[in-house]
């Protein structure tokens, strides 16, 4: 079967060498896009997509058996929920501080300049968006690959019968 032949070898000298350079750069660049998104193009969604590209590349290079960042579908779903919770919790914090929902001026932290408060609040909701987007993309990838593997097993069973 051609598929089994394609499935077995992950890695190789070129892929492993480029893995050491590309993956750390991608992940650090994603964090940079997230934290520097206020002054330059970028933000929560882009940072999340970039981090997810890093994780998916790890999966493509090393395979599901010995991948370095082992985030499976179930963990990814939970983390996506956590990201959404971070977003909502920022809004609830401002409610607790006495303002409206997502009104950053009322964040209950000891800073008095409204600019600092706005920067902090936007950073918090962007962290939430980043985690949610990243984990959702990883979960979509996991779902596609898992479904393919399941279908393949069924086909093998059919052939054996």
Partner 1 sequence: MQVLILEALLLLFLIFITVCILISKDILACTIIYSAFSFCAVLTYFMFGSPDVAFTEAVIGTMSTIFFIAALKKVDRWCK
**Residues making contact with partner 1 (CB under 8 A):** 3, 33, 41-43, 45-46, 49-50, 52-53, 56, 60, 137, 140-141, 144-145, 147-148, 151
Taking the complex as a whole, the smallest distance from the CB of residue 52 to partner 1 amounts, in Å, to 7
Q: Identify which of residues 103 and 152 has a Cβ nearer to partner 1 in the complex.
A: 152
Rounded to an integer, what distance in angstroms lies between the CA atom of residue 156 and that of residue 151? 9
Residues 102, 95 contacting (CB under 8 angstroms) = no
Q: Identify which of residues 1 and 96 has a Cβ nearer to partner 1 in the complex.
A: 1
End-to-end Cα separation, the chain, in angstroms: 17
Rounded to an integer, what distance in angstroms lies between the CA atom of residue 58 and that of residue 26? 11
Tokens matching residue 80: 């996506």
Taking the complex as a whole, the smallest distance from the CB of residue 70 to partner 1 amounts, in Å, to 18
- Which sign, positive or negative, has the C-alpha torsion 103, 106, 109, 115? positive
Taking the complex as a whole, the smallest distance from the CB of residue 117 to partner 1 amounts, in Å, to 24
Tokens matching residue 126: 């962007």
Q: Identify which of residues 56 and 93 has a Cβ nearer to partner 1 in the complex.
A: 56
Taking the complex as a whole, the smallest distance from the CB of residue 104 to partner 1 amounts, in Å, to 21
Q: Identify which of residues 43 and 73 has a Cβ nearer to partner 1 in the complex.
A: 43
């Amino acid at each position: 079967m051609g598929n089994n032949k394609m499935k077995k070898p992950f890695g190789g000298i070129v892929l492993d060498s480029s893995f050491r350079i590309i993956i750390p750069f991608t992940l650090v660049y994603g964090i940079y896009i997230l934290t520097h998104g206020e002054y330059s193009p970028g933000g929560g969604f882009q940072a999340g997509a970039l981090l997810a590209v890093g994780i998916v590349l790890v999966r493509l290079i090393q395979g599901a058996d010995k991948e370095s960042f082992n985030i499976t579908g179930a963990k990814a779903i939970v983390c996506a929920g956590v990201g959404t919770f971070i977003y909502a919790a920022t809004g609830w914090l401002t409610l607790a501080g006495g303002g409206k929902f997502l009104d950053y001026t009322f964040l209950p932290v000891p800073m008095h300049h409204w600019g600092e408060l706005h920067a902090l609040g936007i950073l918090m909701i962007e962290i939430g968006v980043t985690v949610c987007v990243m984990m959702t993309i990883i979960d979509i990838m996991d779902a596609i690959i898992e479904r393919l593997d399941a279908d393949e097993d069924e086909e093998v069973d059919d052939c054996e019968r």
